[in-house]
Chains A and B, each alone.
Chain A
Amino acid sequence: MSTTLESPSLTDHQPARASSPPPPPHKSTGRALTIALAGNPNAGKTTLFNKLTGLRQKVANYPGVTVERKEGAWSLAPGAAVPARLIDLPGLYSLDAASIDEQIARDVLKGRIAGLPAPDLILVVVDATNLERNLYLAAQLLEYGRPLVIALTMIDLAERRGIEIDVERLAGALGVPVVPVVAAQRRGIDALSDAILKTVDNMGPGIGWRLSEAAEGEVRLLSAANAEAMTERHAALCDLYGEDLPADAKRREAVKLARARLSETDENWWQEPLLARYDWIERIVAQCVRPPGEQQRRATTTERIDRILTHKVFGPLVLIAVMLLVFQTIFSWAALPMDLIDKVFGTLGATLRAAMPPGLLTDLLVDGIIAGVGGVLVFLPQILLLFFFITILEDTGYMARAAFLMDRLMRGVGLHGKAFMPLLSSFACAIPGIMATRTIENPKDRFATIMIAPFMSCSARLPVYALLIAAFFSTRKVFGVVSVGALMIVAMYLLGITVAVCVAWILKHTILKAPAPPLVLELPPYRVPNLLTVTQTIWSRAWLFVRRAGTVILAISIILWALVTFPRTTSTPDNGSAAAATAAAATGMPQQSGAGQDGRTASAADQEGRGQDDETGEQIRNSFAGRAGRFIEPAIAPLGFDWKMGIGLISSFAARETLVSTFSIVYNVGPDENEGSPSLIDAVRDARRPDGTPAWTPLVAVSMMVFFVLACQCMSTVAVVRRETNSWRWPLFMVGYMLALAYIASLITFQGGRLLGFS
């Protein structure tokens, strides 16, 4: 069908003719076209992908690895019945080096991914301002001999820099359509679909370059088995120059012999295809591109910005300022929406309790579900803000500068400059951070980074810090300006970083011993981030968090509530009338049974608190959770924790932020209409041990926070590490050593603090 189309010029900028027939279903099969989108990092691939697919995209992972698999529907021609399936490949510089991303890209192109047919067409994004390097990937893709179209991006930027590109000539030299596009303004999109529909049944021109006589001879020898020239030649080249030897034994021998013969005359024999491709590209570019004259070449905006941002003195200062700004903003801007969400859930709980008859169901809804999930969703604004900043820093290109500035320091502990980005992301959440380590090629460096990523204080720890600091530190000031609370938070972040550095150093000098990793990192031009891309990134990350709150944390809240509520205490021999206790038990949560009735007879206000606490305590003490808490109490007592905190510790191993919802259940902060609901902060402050001394002191709070900085309490992290390292050994090792570190550090904090006279 596509061959019957009238043929507009390859560089057609005109909008698609309304009269053109809608041909998207594939000619031979009638099914939707599958198009693979490939390109260098920073070439504008994501922007184009978003523009073409709009919101019709889904993000998943490739089987077995965490390389993000993005695909979307693209209608191609207006009014088309079957949209094309657009597969976004990972950003790549080449198809050779053996990183996971490149492996995946090759598998997609060869149709080796389950449920994903080999693409009908490859769409390559080529950055016009960086033509030679971008064409390298295009050259490799051309070698597949598949239908291929090039989308030339950043053409406006190239013009501004005085780079003149003869697009028609370039298309002629490469043998494939080249369509200039400015995705943000939708320029060239229609021409792009036209070119795709016309090209989809034309096999590409294949390999345009030749090797030396000796090498070509070997290629011929390896491809002699089959007469089908182009694909055979490509297969022979892949086998001869690829990192992996072919699986077939006979073929492997042949390849080994061929390599041996070539290396006899030239030790750099493997460089030949690389050089041939660049040689070919240089010749084409020389024909089609007029570079700006030497006089014309002014410093680009990026170079001028970098005079400050990567300056020897100002660069690090700006980096520190940026990080301070990010964290300051997260704490101050987020306060208002956080209060709002808190109030909404509080009101919801109170309304529900007023409207429903007292009983187990009401308690489950209010104390279990609303308190539990609400306690976690409160942190959504902070998480959104952090993701916002990280996305902006990534998309502007500043993250690469941060890696450039930090590399020397990171290498001091044996890490890669590229580890800086994943580690910084881990301040939001270790999961995207760990997933981002896949840009680090060497597995040992990658594993070392993964092992320390959970030490970065993630947003799930913030609720814990926030609660304990609000309860014990926030009112105090140092020098009249800085609050102790802010200092405590900074101290916790620094503790995590320091321990991470030490652990990284130890790992890199023991089990993950390897020479300092190489750093080859592009410093991309600064760009104004695309609003749509930023929004989509934040949205997908935030959704992940909300879904977690709706599933894992909801489930834990319900389970925990049940564990605290059952088995129900029927008699309390050591406290007051059995009737009151039975009433307490009947409602599950003793507070609603007119708690404190008996305690009141004992007069003092403090006694009242204790009476209530005793009754609540009795129920929780005998519950399943209480038994578990008491079981581990001897182990955690040296850290200053009692069994109620033990319950929190146990539940928080699923996810850190559940500590807060656990405490709201354990300390039983159900809203009480008569007396006004005591907040969780007050409940924590007022909690008592059996002997009447406060359960929490500032020292206990610090000890608890130290524990949370260092322990790996996050099921999702464990699951991601399992998937990333493809073994249970690493995640189990991580949980084990982090728990040991947390215990020891907490022990030192509490016992050391007591020796020094703190309480």
Chain B
Amino acid sequence: MAHLPVGVEARVTSVNGSSAVARRLMEMGVVPGAPVRVIKTAPLGDPLEIRVRGYHLALRRTEAQTITVTAVTDGE
């Protein structure tokens, strides 16, 4: 997810990483199957602002790296 370009619609495939962060992310709705999108990056390139389940969430690139996503192409 850290490499997902800004504005591309994607879907979460898995959340890995340390269980505390992964648990928090999943509790906040970042679970496999959920559509996500990177809205922007902060002025120094980190953290990221993402949109998930209709709200906005800030996370760092290190956290974003624990989320794997697949881009959803326009046709879908």
> Taking beta carbons and an 8 Å cutoff, which residues of A are in contact with B?
93-94, 96-97, 129-133, 136, 268, 270-271, 274-275, 278, 302-303, 306, 310, 312-313, 315-316, 400, 403-405, 407-409, 411, 417, 441, 516, 518-525
Residues from chain A with Cβ under 8 Å of B42 in the complex:
310, 312, 315, 404-405, 407-408
* Interchain nearest-CB distance for A273 vs B (Å): 10
Residues from chain A with Cβ under 8 Å of B63 in the complex:
518-520
Residues from chain B with Cβ under 8 Å of A519 in the complex:
47, 58-60, 63
A521 contact from B40, B46, B57, Cβ within 8 A? B57
CB atoms of B43 and A315 under 8 A apart: yes
> Taking beta carbons and an 8 Å cutoff, which residues of B are in contact with A?
14-15, 19-29, 31-32, 34, 39-47, 49, 53-60, 62-63
CB atoms of A310 and B21 under 8 A apart: no
Give the secondary structure class of B's interface: mixed
Residues from chain B with Cβ under 8 Å of A411 in the complex:
46, 60
* Interchain nearest-CB distance for B50 vs A (Å): 10
Residues from chain A with Cβ under 8 Å of B24 in the complex:
93, 97, 518, 520
Tell me the bound Cα distance from A99 to B11 in angstroms: 29
CB atoms of A521 and B31 under 8 A apart: no
Which of B20, B24, B45, B55 has the most chain A CB atoms inside 10 A of its CB? B55
CB atoms of B47 and A133 under 8 A apart: no
Closest to B22 in A: A271
A to B CB contacts below 8 Å, 7 in the list = A129-B54, A132-B53, A136-B27, A312-B42, A405-B42, A521-B57, A521-B58
* Interchain nearest-CB distance for B52 vs A (Å): 8
Which of B20, B27, B47 has the most chain A CB atoms inside 10 A of its CB? B27
Residues from chain A with Cβ under 8 Å of B26 in the complex:
271, 274-275, 278
B47 contact from A136, A275, A408, Cβ within 8 A? A408
Residues from chain B with Cβ under 8 Å of A271 in the complex:
15, 22-23, 26
CB atoms of A408 and B57 under 8 A apart: no
Closest to A521 in B: B58
Closest to A270 in B: B19
Which of A315, A407, A441 has the most chain B CB atoms inside 10 A of its CB? A407
CB atoms of A94 and B57 under 8 A apart: no
* Interchain nearest-CB distance for A416 vs B (Å): 10
* Interchain nearest-CB distance for B67 vs A (Å): 11
Residues from chain B with Cβ under 8 Å of A524 in the complex:
55-56
CB atoms of B58 and A417 under 8 A apart: yes
* Interchain nearest-CB distance for A316 vs B (Å): 6
A522 contact from B15, B41, B57, Cβ within 8 A? B57
Residues from chain A with Cβ under 8 Å of B43 in the complex:
312-313, 315-316, 405, 408
* Interchain nearest-CB distance for B8 vs A (Å): 15
Tell me the bound Cα distance from A172 to B58 in angstroms: 34
Residues from chain A with Cβ under 8 Å of B49 in the complex:
306, 310, 404, 523
Tell me the bound Cα distance from A274 to B27 in angstroms: 7
A407 contact from B15, B34, B39, B47, Cβ within 8 A? B47
CB atoms of B28 and A274 under 8 A apart: no
CB atoms of B55 and A520 under 8 A apart: no
A518 contact from B34, B39, B44, B60, Cβ within 8 A? B60
CB atoms of A400 and B31 under 8 A apart: no
Q: Identify 5 new A-B residue pairs, CB closer than 8 A, beyond the known A520-B57, A525-B55.
A: A133-B29, A270-B23, A278-B34, A405-B42, A524-B55
CB atoms of B28 and A407 under 8 A apart: no
Residues from chain B with Cβ under 8 Å of A313 in the complex:
43
Closest to A401 in B: B58
Tell me the bound Cα distance from A64 to B58 in angstroms: 32
CB atoms of A520 and B23 under 8 A apart: no
Which of B14, B22, B28, B56 has the most chain A CB atoms inside 10 A of its CB? B56
B59 contact from A97, A268, A302, A520, Cβ within 8 A? A520
Tell me the bound Cα distance from A519 to B47 in angstroms: 8
* Interchain nearest-CB distance for A644 vs B (Å): 49
Which of A129, A278, A312 has the most chain B CB atoms inside 10 A of its CB? A278
Closest to B66 in A: A518
CB atoms of B47 and A130 under 8 A apart: no
CB atoms of A407 and B23 under 8 A apart: no
Tell me the bound Cα distance from A523 to B49 in angstroms: 8
B54 contact from A96, A130, A306, A520, Cβ within 8 A? A130
